[in-house]
Amino acid sequence: MKFENSVTKYVGAQIRKYRKARGMTQKELGFRIGVKHNTISGYESGTNEPEQNILFAIADVLGVSINDLFPSPTNVEPVEPKFARIPVLGTIACGEPILAEENISEYIYMPIDRLPSGKLFYLRAKGSSMEPTIPDGSLVLIREQPEVEPGAIAAVLVNGDTEATLKRIKRQGDMVILMPDNPEHEPIVITPDNPARIIGRAVQVTQLL
């Protein structure tokens, strides 16, 4: 979709206005829709023309209508989305399905062609137990599944299904051990008195620098 130069600059100015109004950096907006921050800079300066599907993603992340980005109503037709909206889990409500709306803190848009198959969600790593593999603060893409192979990193519900942790799965006979990658942290042995439940497998780690 091509725009006249003046409209492109107007759209860029609108993107900048709504982004700043939400206290979001170019890097954060780019991460949310799956592009680099210098691409966002190009959109805002009017030197790059965002594709239609990108505009829909930007509008959704900024919480505005796509028409708010244009100087007047346009004949933009909806297109099949090329982005997937991936939930980020926050506080987990006891008894609720893991992807219940109450558990979701935000959504991140990612290009569909960069994603694996399956039902996906993000967890934000907290602490140093999985360093250096997963640094503190990283966003970890999880594919929802009830079991993982030994040695894989899993998202595991602990503390009465109210907290999700990331650990490597080790099996010794019938015993399951949650292993940290950081040797300064202790393994967690799963017992009837200390139960846990696997909710997915880590498939991708992203750091927002």
Active site residues: 129, 167
Amino acid at 174: D
Q: Give the bridge partners for 37, in sequence order.
A: none
**Alpha-carbon gap, residue 180 to 191, rounded angstroms:** 17
**Strand pairing report for 163-172 and 175-179:** antiparallel
Alpha helices in the chain (DSSP H): 5-21, 26-33, 37-45, 52-62
Token pair in block for residue 96: 């609720």
The answer to whether 201 and 143 have CB atoms below 8 angstroms apart is yes
**Strand pairing report for 139-144 and 175-179:** unpaired
